[in-house]
Amino acid sequence: MADEIRVGLIGAGANTKQRHIPGLETQKGVEIVAVANRTRESGEKVAKEFEIPKVYDSWLEIIDDDDIEAVCIGTWPYMHAPMAIAALEAGKHVLVEARMAMNSEEARDMLAVSKANPDLVAQIVPAPHTLSVDRTVMEMITSGYIGDMVNMRVSVGATSSFPGWDSPLHWRHDRDMSGNNIMHMGIWYEALMRWVGPATTVQTLAQTIVTHRKDESGRRRAITIPDQVDILCRMAVGGTMNMSVTTVSGFAPALDVWIYGTEGTLRLEQMEGVIDGGLPILRLTAGKRGEKGMKEVPIPAEKRGKWRVEEEFVAAINGEELVTHTNFFDGVKYMEWTDAVSDALQSGATVHLPL
């Protein structure tokens, strides 16, 4: 076990301030010693708020600081690969914000450097939305509750709203910042992989309804990332998946997942509100062949997963456990699927996985 883990922050946006800094501060033997944000001014604000002793002008200074043993990368996806690779090559453990990278090529480069430095922890911030039910859903599927999977239907309404014609440009709308990541689809695919494994083929249709948005300077920018996408996949485990993700469909459910099997059916719905730890309230119902209908599945407290990203990161550094949420191998899988969605959209063809 390390005597003390000194952490440097590269990028300190909302999730870093709300999750990672408080999460790291609660871990025994961890000290956040430096921050480098988009500007010196913003870095100083974060340092003052959280009593971080050093503020650097550049993220490269974090990498070059030999006293820093681990970095938390909270930037947008366009910088994840160069920062994570540089940190690993400098002998530092890495916790990098999701999505893993701009595309699967960058993700594979990150994995290769991680494999070349097996003594260093490389972790991606996981998709958290289904943590409270993951264990129960996986146990039901693996125990044979649904039999063989026939089809999974996934509806994600990321904002559940009608098109916002005057809505501002967000980094998720900017391909230069987000790469092939489209809305929140990669987060949900990552979560679904925990239950049923990866896809083997991908077909896609998509639309961009809000075609222009204004950036911070007021300039009108054309949008090329879809805000409504329909994806059809064959799954390695058998069966198919239909996923619809939208930010422009009024009153669309935040999440509604049906898993149909030869012997049983599961349904997962996101309800209004959040539970402790900032996770959404999810309702799981199930029914088997011969039963009159579906009933809610109670999930005991000991089976409810929770947000423990920073705890897992520190425990992995100390050699106490392995990273499960989420390692670079799984990150490459969801980034290859993300690329397959974009490739299928552009070509109109069926794309086979792995790439």
What is the strand order of the sheet 295-296 is part of? 295-296, 280-288, 264-274, 255-261, 149-157, 240-246, 228-235, 199-207, 351-352
Within a domain: 333: no
More confident residue, 135 or 166: 135
111 and 224 in a common domain: no
Within a domain: 212: yes
Question: Domain range spanning residue 102?
Answer: 5-125+309-326
Task: Tell me the three state secondary structure of residue 295.
Answer: strand
Mean per-residue pLDDT, 315-323: 97
Residue 277 has pLDDT above 90, yes or no: no
Which among 131, 188, 181 has a CA at the least distance from the CA of 157?
A: 188
224 and 290 in a common domain: yes
Which among 323, 282, 314 has a CA at the least distance from the CA of 131?
A: 282
What are the tens digits of pLDDT across the range 51-107?
999 999 999 999 999 999 999 999 999 999 999 999 999 999 999 999 999 999 999
Number of domains forming the structure of the chain: 2
Within a domain: 342: no
Within a domain: 236: yes
Q: Judge whether 124 and 326 are in contact, CB under 8 Å.
A: yes
What are the structure tokens assigned to 71, written together? Answer: 């970095």
Q: Which helix (H) or strand (E) holds 200?
A: strand 199-207
266 and 157 in a common domain: yes
**How much is the pLDDT for 276?**
65
Query: The whole model's pTM is what?
Result: 0.94
Residue 2 has pLDDT above 60, yes or no: no
**How much is the pLDDT for 273?**
78
**How much is the pLDDT for 226?**
96
What are the structure tokens assigned to 155, written together? Answer: 């509806």
160 and 64 in a common domain: no
Average pLDDT, rounded, for the chain: 95
